[in-house]
């Protein structure tokens, strides 16, 4: 684990997984949660809530794979593209209250950036977001709370195209080729089926202020009442909210439903 630097601390965090398709709004949801908790402007060494991207755990590519990636011909949406073991070890370190260092990800070069390491200080709440954070069973089992950002695929594609061109150094042809060849099929095969593991499904992502308010309230309750939470981080009472019909039954497959741990 050369990429990890550890410093023991007493703070054992509440770990929240945030999954969803590409450009569904996972990062925006994390940012909103942090803003509402007054964390976004805070010095990162002092934050009670931190967000980490699964993209920091892409495995390094061979020169041949990198050449393919530049043409939109490498599958970054397949589980094999990630370093599962490092992801698991890092989350375990975080859960033990350690400080860790992880590389940032450079989408223009399709590589991890070890020159710009992100230092993750011990925090009370850690958000871990990415397309496949619920795919790997042993990683999925580490989360105390699981959120799935459910934004329709047209909207996601309409957001991904300008983002990849303007922020990730791509051209239109490569973005569309990659989307049709890899991103869309992999979403259907690997990402979408993980929605069933979510405790809370957030339709429309960061625009869904009701869902975000409820999640933020849950985090506040956790921070204020840590001693009431068991070793799993969950309180024993479960409350099901179905925002679509007003009934109390929750269905993880129904994008208008939310199941809140409270």
Ligand X SMILES: O=c1ccn([C@@H]2O[C@H](COP(=O)(O)O)[C@@H](O)[C@H]2O)c(=O)[nH]1
Question: Of 22-30, 88-96, 228-236, 249-257, which part binds ligand X (CB under 6 A)?
Answer: 22-30
Which of ligand ADP, ligand X, none interacts with 77 (beta carbon under 5 to 8 A by kind)?
ligand X
For residue 205, the minimal CB distance to ligand ADP (Å) is 5
Residues 29-58, one symbol each (x = binds ligand X by CB under 6 A, - = not), give --------------------------x--x
Q: Hey, what's the torsion of the CAs at 133, 49, 109, 57, to 10 degrees?
A: -40
For residue 31, the minimal CB distance to ligand X (Å) is 13
* DSSP helix/strand/coil, 76: coil
Whole-angstrom Cα distance, residue 191 to residue 78?
Answer: 9
Which of ligand ADP, ligand X, none interacts with 150 (beta carbon under 5 to 8 A by kind)?
none
The answer to whether residue 22 forms part of the interface with ligand X (CB under 6 A) is yes
The answer to whether residue 211 forms part of the interface with ligand X (CB under 6 A) is no
Question: Of 20-28, 87-95, 195-203, 239-247, which part binds ligand X (CB under 6 A)?
Answer: 20-28
Between 164 and 233, CB nearer to ligand X? 164
Whole-angstrom Cα distance, residue 214 to residue 48?
Answer: 18
Whole-angstrom Cα distance, residue 127 to residue 15?
Answer: 6
Which of ligand ADP, ligand X, none interacts with 76 (beta carbon under 5 to 8 A by kind)?
ligand X
Site for ligand X in 66-85 (CB under 6 A): 69, 76-77
Distance of alpha carbon 43 from the chain centroid: 21
The answer to whether residue 183 forms part of the interface with ligand X (CB under 6 A) is yes
| Phi, psi torsion values for 53, nearest 5 degrees | -100, 140
Q: Look-up: residue for tokens 């269905």?
A: 251
DSSP for 123-136 reads -SEEEEE-TTTTTS
Q: Can you read off the two tokens belonging to residue 23?
A: 């450009």
For residue 18, the minimal CB distance to ligand ADP (Å) is 8
Q: Can you read off the two tokens belonging to residue 140?
A: 């999925």
Among residues 51, 52, 131, 216, the one that binds ligand X under rule CB under 6 A: 131
Residues 6+ apart with CB under 8 A from 177: 71, 72, 73
* DSSP helix/strand/coil, 119: strand
| Phi, psi torsion values for 54, nearest 5 degrees | -65, -20
The answer to whether residue 150 forms part of the interface with ligand X (CB under 6 A) is no
The answer to whether residue 190 forms part of the interface with ligand X (CB under 6 A) is no
Facing residues of 20 across strands?
A: 149
Which residues are near ligand ADP by CB under 6 A? 20, 22-28, 159, 163, 205-207
Residues that bind ligand X (CB under 6 A): 22-23, 26, 55, 58, 69, 76-77, 107, 110, 131, 183
């Amino acid at each position: 684990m050369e990429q990890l630097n550890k410093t023991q601390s007493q703070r054992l965090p509440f770990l929240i997984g945030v999954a969803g398709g590409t450009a569904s709004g996972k990062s925006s949801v994390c940012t909103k949660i942090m803003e509402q908790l007054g964390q976004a402007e805070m010095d990162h060494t002092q934050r009670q809530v931190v967000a980490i991207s699964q993209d920091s755990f892409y495995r390094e590519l061979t020169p041949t794979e990198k050449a393919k990636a530049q043409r939109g011909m490498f599958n970054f949406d397949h589980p094999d593209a990630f370093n599962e073991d490092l992801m698991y070890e890092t989350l375990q370190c975080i859960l033990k209250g350690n400080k860790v260092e992880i590389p940032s990800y450079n989408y223009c070069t399709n590589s991890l950036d070890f020159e710009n390491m992100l230092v993750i200080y011990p925090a009370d709440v850690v958000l871990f977001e990415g397309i496949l954070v619920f795919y790997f069973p042993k990683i999925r089992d580490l989360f105390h709370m699981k959120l799935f950002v459910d934004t329709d695929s047209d909207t996601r594609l309409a957001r991904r195209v300008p983002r990849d061109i303007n922020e990730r150094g791509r051209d239109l042809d490569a973005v569309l080729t990659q989307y049709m060849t890899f991103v869309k099929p992999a979403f259907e095969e690997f990402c979408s089926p993980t929605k069933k593991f979510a405790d809370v499904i957030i339709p429309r992502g960061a625009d869904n202020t009701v869902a975000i308010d409820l999640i933020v309230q849950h985090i506040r309750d956790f921070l204020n009442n840590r001693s009431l939470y068991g070793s799993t981080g969950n309180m024993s009472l479960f409350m099901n909210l179905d925002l679509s019909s007003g009934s109390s039954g929750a269905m993880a497959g129904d994008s208008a439903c939310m199941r809140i741990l409270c």
